[in-house]
Structure 1
Amino acid sequence: MELPIPENIKKLWDLWDLRFCILFSLFLQVCLVIFAPWRQRSRRTWLHIFLWSVYLMADWVAAVAIGLITKSQTNPFIAKGNGSIFAFWASFLLLHLGGPDSITSFSLEDNKLWIRHLFGVLLQVFGAVYSLFLTIPNNKLLIPTLIVFFVGTIKYSERTVALYLASLDNFGAIALPEPYAGHDYEAAVAIYSETRSVEAPEQIAITMAANLGNFKDYNPTSESEEMKLLLTAYSLFEDFKGLFVDFLISSNDRESSRKKFLEIESAETSFRLIEYELSLIYQLLHTKVSVVCSRFGLVVRFLSLWSMVVACISFHYLVDKHKLKKFELIVTYVFLIGAIVVDIISGVNLIFSDMFLIDLHQQSWKNHIPG
């Protein structure tokens, strides 16, 4: 039994279902970019319900839109518009499925489903490729479409890798620290190897002590108190992250943590330290920080931004826009400019993120090790 839906409403939906999904997917991405960072600092029920709903709908709507695009291109009875521009939009939907850097999962259970997400990546990428294949050789938007498709595939894959790294199985494998001989071990071995054949043992000891003293004297007093607090929080997080996978903490770590807190003079500073620890935990488990804060991730972020700029320029100057409808042209420009703005916002947030500041400090710390 069919529902008594008026015929004019059916025709209107058949005409606008794809366009509605495209616009709705863009709206959901804007909501995630704006509101996802709030979740880290707020316990408001309405915010969590809203973000949970947007998080689920964002994946669903983008996947449905890709399906509608391929359906409109393969069904001869459905004439909804320019197939080339639809294939272009399908590449943008891969960007939407990749999501913003500020949220990859809503709960720890989502991280466990990284294999299912990987299957979704393969399926949706195949759908976008199939949509593009249907427009060849008459596709006048081939160059910008290929550029956006490449960036969208990378962003979608980044999210899957972030889910895998944050899954408890993998997190447990890296929770235990690697054996650490000390920051002066390599320097001591190098000095010993260079001097043992020409110097007496007493001279070796004096040389090693003098060189290693250069590192011990290194005390970054220019660092702000907030940076020192962040580094302390990171040190404590490294000691206690095994608790998330039911590892036992040694008595030395417990006593060290207790000593650090007893040395803090004010309660406000203690709570600030705990806040930094919780922030690091949240970023590693529910954002892309573990993927982006690496050399490969930084290179990919730089290339993706400039690729979107090139795609926008190529669309503006190399494509005959007179054959496009006004609505299609507006939506495409909104997609292009929106993707560039989101990449810029993500880059700024990355520069000021806790993990990025810690990585910069660690690189600076390594540069002070005598060679």
Structure 2
Amino acid sequence: MELPIPKEVMKIWDEWNLRGCILLSLALQVFLFFCAPLRQKCRSTLIVVLIWSAYLLSDWVAAVAIGVITKSQGDPCPTNSQGDPCPCDSGKNKDLLAFWASFLLVHLGGPDTITSFALEDNEFWLRHLILLILQVLAAAYSFYMTLFENKLWFPTVLVFVVGTIKFGERTCALYLASLDHFGETVLPEPEPGPDYEEAVEIYSTMRSVEVPTQVELPIRPMHIGNYKNPKFIVEGVHKESLDDVQLLQEAYRFFESFKGLIVGFLLSSKVRERSRDFFLKRTHVSAFQLIEYELSFMYEVLHTKVVVARHKVGYILRFITFCSTIGALMLFALVGKHKFDKFDIALTYALLIGAIILETLSVLNLICSDWTVIASTTSGADHILVH
């Protein structure tokens, strides 16, 4: 018994299901790149729901599209469900199908602005690793089926390398942000306690040959009025002003000290005292601005590719992906495309140009980010580049 679906609808579905998935996947990548950072400041429920939906749908659409391409490449039947020639499965488009499959790996890697929506997503890094292996094998199979007659094999290889790197970067970012690994990286130095130095000093004094018989303690003036009036003490502290760069540097230092709270570590007494003394000397505007910078650092480390992208190897991989994408565009422009449909050619150009634009904007974001300001200082450059 056949389903009561008109033939026209089935024909449109057979012709546009893959193209629709690719267009939707590209639109989701652009949306996530520009709108995902809004989570840090926007409290609109609608925006958050849209970002969450796009985050989930982007992986699903790209994976389904790769499955459709793999199935069509292995299907010897040249007709669709209605007996008409199938434009997607015809031999003239198989080169483009393999090219699109490699591009969908780039989409599975996702934009740099979001790798996870919640902390729980980072714990599924092993699932993403398995998905990476499966999807890479599927794209490689699609390319292998057209290897001997594929006129786009060189740009397909370039895009395949870009997609594998992008997908690998996302998996690595999820692994680095998982609680187990993140807890290992933020493990503080052993803290013997506030009385350790005093106990060592007393023990050394008792072990020494010359034991002092009299101890003279320095006389410190006591301010009884100030001691009983905490409000007077706070108001009496001189409020120091810092510029944006200095405030950003202090925010990064506090981020390095306080990020252990994410995995349940306790703060040492020295860190608490330093934080209290610092905030008592600042105005409320500077204090809230510093907290904003600090929370921004935490968000980017846990939910973006900033840790992977700012690594020394990440710079090299970013250069490779950028040059490979431009090379794929130039090679595709030089290859004869008379046997391809005009819409398919336009769609391929949209994928290539869109990838180049997003990659360029990602590099500009890295250059203009707060992390670059911190890395330009002598105190933070080595630490950020290594970790």
Please give the TM-score of this superposition, normalised by the length of structure 2.
0.80
Distance change (3 Å), C-alpha of 1:3 and 1:360: farther
Deviations 1:191-218 (A, max 9, x none): xxxxxxxxxxxxxxxxxxxxxxxxxxxx
Check conservation: 1:95, 1:156, Cα contact below 8 A. Answer: yes
CA distance in 2, matches of 1:365, 1:300: 20
Aligned partners of 2:94 and 2:146 also within 8 Å: yes
- The aligned runs of 1:60-209 (5 Å cut-off) are 60-78=60-78, 79=86, 80=88, 81=90, 82-177=93-188
Deviation at 1:363, TM superposition (A): 6.8
Q: Does residue 1:333 correspond to 2:349, yes or no?
A: yes
What is the rounded CA distance, in whole Å, between the counterparts of 2:322 and 2:381 in structure 1?
30
Q: Counterpart of 1:213?
A: none
Q: Which moved more, 1:320-329 or 1:97-106?
A: 320-329
The equivalences for 1:288-303 within 5 A come to 288-303=305-320
Which of 355, 361, 367 is equivalent to 1:345? 361
Q: Does the CA-based 8 Å contact 2:103-2:163 persist in structure 1?
A: yes
Task: Give the 3 Å change call, closer, same or farther, for CA 174–156 of structure 1 in structure 2.
Answer: same
Give the Cα–Cα distance (whole angstroms) in 1 for the partners of residues 380 and 248 of structure 2. 15
What is the identity, as a one-letter code, of the residue corresponding to 2:281? E
Amino acid paired to 2:247: L
When residues 37 and 312 of structure 1 are mapped into structure 2, their CA distance, relative to the original with a 3 A threshold, is same
Taking a change above 3 Å as real, the CA distance of residues 54 and 128 of structure 1, as seen in their structure-2 partners, is same
Q: Give the C-alpha shift of residue 13 in structure 1.
A: 0.7
Q: CA deviation at 1:5?
A: 2.0
Equivalent residue, structure 1, for 2:5: 5
Deviations 1:120-152 (A, max 9, x none): 000100010000000010000001000010011
Structure ranking higher in helix proportion: 1
1:42 aligns with 2:48: no
- 1:18 matched residue in structure 2: 18
- Once residues 3 and 34 of structure 1 are traced to their aligned partners in structure 2, the CA distance between those partners, rounded to angstroms, is 41
Whether the 8 Å contact between 1:104 and 1:286 is mirrored in structure 2 is yes
Distance 1:343 1:363, change over 3 A: farther
Alignment partners' CA distance in 1, 2:381 and 2:318: 25
Give the partner amino acid of 2:349: Y
Compute the TM-score of the two structures, normalised by the length of structure 1: 0.83
Instruction: Give the 5 Å matches for 1:244-323.
Output: 244-264=262-282, 266-317=283-334, 319-323=335-339
Match of 1:235 in 2: 253
Gaps of 5+ in 1: 181-223, 367-371
One-letter identity of the residue aligned with 2:158? I
Q: 1:173 to 1:105 in 2, by over 3 A?
A: same
The Cα of 1:178 is off from its aligned counterpart by 5.6
| Secondary structure of 1:132 counterpart | helix
- Which amino acid in the other structure matches residue 13 of structure 1? W
Alignment check: 8 A CA contact 1:293 1:356 kept: no
> Using the alignment, how far apart are the partners of 1:67 and 1:358 within structure 2?
44
Q: Which has the larger radius of gyration?
A: 2
Alpha-carbon distance between aligned partners in 2 of 1:234 and 1:34, rounded to the nearest angstrom: 25
Verify the 8 A CA contact 2:32 2:111 in the aligned structure 1: yes
Distance in 2 (alpha carbons) for counterparts of 1:7 and 1:322? 29
CA drift of 1:118 comes to 0.4
Q: Residues of 2 paired with 1:169 and 1:137: CA distance?
A: 46
Moved over 3 A (4+): 177-180, 362-366
Asked if the contact 2:374–2:381 (Cα under 8 Å) also holds between the matched residues in 1, the reply is no
Q: Give 1:357 shift.
A: 2.3
Deviation at 1:364, TM superposition (A): 7.8
RMSD of equivalent CA atoms? 1.7
> Would the aligned equivalents of 1:162 and 1:290 in 2 still touch at CA under 8 Å?
yes
Structure 2 unaligned runs (5+)?
79-85, 192-241, 383-387
Could you tell me whether the CA contact under 8 Å between 2:102 and 2:156 is conserved in 1? Answer: yes
| Mapped contact 2:375–2:381 kept (Cα < 8 A) | no
> Between the two proteins, what is the percent identity of the paired residues?
53
Which moves more between the two structures, 350-359 or 65-74? 350-359
Hey, what does 2:203 align to over in structure 1? none
Give the match for residue 51 of structure 1. 51
The one-letter amino acid paired with 1:229 is: L
Kept in 2, the 8 Å contact 1:237–1:277? The answer is yes
Contact residue 55 and residue 106 of structure 1 kept, 8 A = yes
> What secondary structure sits across from 1:42 in the alignment?
coil
Q: Distance in 1 between matches of 2:101 and 2:278?
A: 53
302-311 vs 336-345, which moves further: 302-311
Maintained 8 Å contact 2:106/2:167? yes
